């Protein structure tokens, strides 16, 4: 049984404060501000992108540019509001000129993401794009192969359903990817409902015991 939501939220606020002054990697010297993540601190669904871009760095909120607008539209199309979910990134600081995150930056930032998952207790985590997908699935299989394929994973000591999606920025560039993203998104309400009926931990334990087909 999870800890009470109010207590977890308080700890999330403490983590937010700690992250604001973070100097664990060199990105602290070039960022405008930390982009911790935003949304419902007790969300069933978390969405995890790569790293803040120009607009996010300026505003301190993830996915506020064009990609964020598309993400919000897809949420609304599927009966979810931005305020229902928690949105964050693997990196909490913007890499200069939006270059790829470096392994040392990922390692330095990873404890924040793991702790966010522990405190928010989502049942489903959507990784957005190749980068977050490979990292959180701990697999080299790329987004083109695994998008729309729910996987059971342990993240931040919690069992979750990892659901890889194309990055909305890629969808903005390629109409076919946008169609695919919309199709994958349409399965989300069902996945969330399934998780509500059968907690993932229980389901996987039962599977291990061979009690399911
Ligand atoms: N792309 C990301 O991966 N994250 C953001 O916050 C914005 C764009």
Is 101 close to ligand 1, i.e. is its CB under 6 Å away?
no
Q: How confident is the model at residue 200 (pLDDT cuts 50, 70, 90)?
A: very low
Q: How confident is the model at residue 199 (pLDDT cuts 50, 70, 90)?
A: very low
* HSE of 135, CA atoms in CB hemisphere, 13 A: 26
Point out which residues pair with 165 in neighbouring strands: 128
| Residue of 199 and 27 predicted with greater confidence | 27
- Structure confidence by residue, pLDDT tens digits, 42-53: 999 999 999 999
- Structure confidence by residue, pLDDT tens digits, 52-66: 999 999 999 999 999
The atom of ligand 1 lying closest to the CA of 87 is 6
Question: How close is the Cα of 143 to the center of ligand 1, in Å?
Answer: 16
The atom of ligand 1 lying closest to the CA of 62 is 6
pLDDT of residue 2: 66
Residue 81 inside a domain? The answer is: yes
Is 63 close to ligand 1, i.e. is its CB under 6 Å away?
yes
Question: CB under 8 Å, gap of 24 or more: what pairs does 73-82 form?
Answer: 74/168, 74/181, 74/182, 74/185, 77/182, 77/185, 77/186, 78/185, 78/186, 78/188, 78/189, 79/189, 80/45, 80/188, 80/189, 82/39
Express as a percent the part of the chain with pLDDT over 70.
90
Residue 137 inside a domain? The answer is: yes
| Residue of 15 and 213 predicted with greater confidence | 15
Q: Which range is least confidently modeled, 117-121, 132-136, 204-208? A: 204-208
The atom of ligand 1 lying closest to the CA of 67 is 8
How many domains does the structure of the chain reveal? 1
Q: How confident is the model at residue 3 (pLDDT cuts 50, 70, 90)?
A: confident
Q: In the chain, which ranges are E strands?
A: 38-39, 45-49, 86-89, 124-128, 151-155, 158-165
Residue 207 inside a domain? The answer is: no
Q: Which range is least confidently modeled, 34-48, 145-159, 184-198? A: 184-198
Residue 171 scores a pLDDT above 70: yes
- Average pLDDT over the chain, rounded to an integer: 92
SS3 state of residue 112: helix
Is 116 close to ligand 1, i.e. is its CB under 6 Å away?
no
Residue 32 inside a domain? The answer is: yes
Residue 208 inside a domain? The answer is: no
Residue 70 inside a domain? The answer is: yes
Rounded CA-CA distance 81/65 in Å is 17
pLDDT of residue 213: 25
The enclosing domain of 71 has a CATH number of 3.40.470.10
Phi, psi of 39 (to 5 degrees): 130, -150
pLDDT of residue 196: 62
Q: What global pTM score does this model have?
A: 0.91
Contact status, residue 119 vs residue 37, Cβ threshold 8 Å: no
Structural domain that includes position 50: 5-198
Terminal Cα-to-Cα distance of the chain (whole angstroms): 27
Residue 24 inside a domain? The answer is: yes
Residue 209 inside a domain? The answer is: no
């Amino acid at each position: 049984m999870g800890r009470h939501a109010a207590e977890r939220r308080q700890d999330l606020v403490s983590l937010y404060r700690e992250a604001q002054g973070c100097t664990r990697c060199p990105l602290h010297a070039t960022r405008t501000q930390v982009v911790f993540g935003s949304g419902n601190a007790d969300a069933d669904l978390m969405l995890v992108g790569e790293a803040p871009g120009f607009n996010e760095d300026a505003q301190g909120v993830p996915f506020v540019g064009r990609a964020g607008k598309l993400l919000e539209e897809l949420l609304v199309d599927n009966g979810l509001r931005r305020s229902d979910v928690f949105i964050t990134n693997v990196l909490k600081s913007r890499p200069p000129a939006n270059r790829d995150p470096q392994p040392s930056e990922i390692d330095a930032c990873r404890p924040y993401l793991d702790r966010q998952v522990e405190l928010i207790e989502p049942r489903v985590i959507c990784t957005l794009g190749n980068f977050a997908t490979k990292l959180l699935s701990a697999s080299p299989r790329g987004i083109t192969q695994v998008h729309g394929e729910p996987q059971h994973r342990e993240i931040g000591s919690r069992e979750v359903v990892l659901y890889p999606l194309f990055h909305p920025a890629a969808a903005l560039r390629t109409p076919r990817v946008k169609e695919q993203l919309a199709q994958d998104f349409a399965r989300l309400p069902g996945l969330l409902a399934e998780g509500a009926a059968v907690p993932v931990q229980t389901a996987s334990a039962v599977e291990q015991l061979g009690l399911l087909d």
